[in-house]
Amino acid sequence: MHPFNFPQPELDETLHSLLIRAHRLSGFSNFRTFTEAILGRPSDGRGWSWRYKKVGRYLDSCKITAWAILQGTLLLPYLMPFMSPEAARLGQNRLDGGHLTGDDGVLPAWHINNSRPLRYCPLCARQQQKRLGISVWLRSHQLDGVNVCWRHAVSLVDVTQHRISPLLPHEFPNQTIRYEFNKFDLWLAKQTRVLLQTSHGPTSSEIIKTTYRAQAARLGYKKTPSIDYFLIASHLLKRFDRRFIERIFGSSDIERVTKMVHRTITASTIGIRPTNHILCIEVLFGEQHNFFLAIRKHTDKDSVEEKKTPEDQRNQLATTLIHKKIFLEVLATHRREVMSELNRNFPLTHQWIVTHALHWSRRRLSNASLN
Ligand SMILES: [Zn+2]
């Protein structure tokens, strides 16, 4: 029996990258047979529906934690905000091995965001190699339309991955660091990363449509009785440059852009593609945060915006200290089983760690196993 030895994923590391690293720690010489042994069929962790949840048991014996860690290596959280709750449920089922998909544009969106070739930033690779001895593939570099590193403003290098013995970024010959100063490309790299990291839940297309239309009407994009999509498209063409719009929408022709804006705002099937939303959100809401706040208001009409008082902040700090203290105590006695033990005996702390301090807890765990 070959050992399946999974390292802790680095922040923003893809499942593909994690599988490569685990493969190298295993006794398998072939990457495909290695993934077949874990997932039931060969997969490089970049396709759709290859029972990814099976990887969970190697990440943590506690199911909830394992799922949260696995989720952090997938691009699903990036697609989720524009998926309907039904489509999101089907998406989760596919990760469990289910084969049903709805007709909600999930599959095309998944394929677009798992497109080959793979991309890496040579400067990120160099820094990781210095810190970890190897480099890893990052999720935020693989998002649709991203061609520059959000951290370094360095052009991403496109490569075709090897199938039998896949490589890590620093092992490819091209390590040329070329700075990219196009402000729109850099803007998109940062915006897509924010969307990926914020992990919003799914929203029905009806709510998305209502939210966009209410804001467009408020801003005066009105052509009775409807919304003036042509005017929004003209605004979009002024906000960004032609080359950038062509790259994202495939054309900068005003009719075509109007059609894309209409499809995005009315949340029709193509509407799941997050880059389209990111651009429309920019011209209508200024910031993603404002858009998602409006979505929440439309989802729950009775919700009032929370205002944090200094007392709330003090309470929050106290909560953080208490949960972290409990975690560290259980870690000292239970080591690798810390999350299973918390789940059994300190469910509140368990839930708090999974939601607020997952990465922190994994760092503590790897430090503890080193000592
Ligand atoms: Zn970088």
CA of 84 to the centre of ligand 1 (A): 33
CA of 110 to the centre of ligand 1 (A): 24
Handedness of CA 72, 161, 4, 49 (dihedral sign): positive
**Residues 341/334, Cβ–Cβ less than 8 Å:** yes
CA of 268 to the centre of ligand 1 (A): 35
∠ Cα 168 74 72 (to 5°): 95
pTM of the model: 0.87
- Compute the distance between CA of residue 147 and CA of residue 330 in angstroms, rounded to an integer: 43
Backbone angle region of 178, left / alpha / beta, with phi > 0 → left and psi within -120 to 50 → alpha: beta
Locate 193 and state its tokens.
């990363």
CA of 138 to the centre of ligand 1 (A): 10
The mean pLDDT value for 248-269 works out to: 90
User: In this structure, which residues have their CB less than 5 angstroms from ion ligand 1?
Assistant: 121, 123-124, 149, 151-152
Tell me the three state secondary structure of residue 157: strand
What digits encode the pLDDT tens for the residues 114-143?
Answer: 666 899 999 999 999 999 999 999 999 999
Q: What is the largest CA-CA distance in the chain?
A: 69
Locate 270 and state its tokens.
């193509």
CA of 153 to the centre of ligand 1 (A): 7
CA of 17 to the centre of ligand 1 (A): 16
CA of 125 to the centre of ligand 1 (A): 7
Q: Is the confidence at residue 84, as pLDDT, over 60?
A: yes
Output the pLDDT for position 302: 47
CA of 150 to the centre of ligand 1 (A): 7
CA of 80 to the centre of ligand 1 (A): 25
The mean pLDDT value for 322-350 works out to: 93
Q: What single-letter amino acid sits at 216? A: A
- Compute the distance between CA of residue 51 and CA of residue 99 in angstroms, rounded to an integer: 10
- Residue 345 CA to its chain's centroid (Å): 31
Regarding predicted confidence, which is higher, 220 or 371? Answer: 220
What digits encode the pLDDT tens for the residues 143-175?
Answer: 989 999 999 999 999 999 998 899 999 999 999
**Residues 354/68, Cβ–Cβ less than 8 Å:** yes
CA of 190 to the centre of ligand 1 (A): 12
- Compute the distance between CA of residue 311 and CA of residue 309 in angstroms, rounded to an integer: 5
**Domain boundaries of the chain, sorted by first residue:** 15-102, 118-198, 205-299, 326-370
CA of 313 to the centre of ligand 1 (A): 34
CA of 14 to the centre of ligand 1 (A): 15
Burial of 297 (0-12, 13-18, 19+ CB in 10 A): middle
CA of 89 to the centre of ligand 1 (A): 33
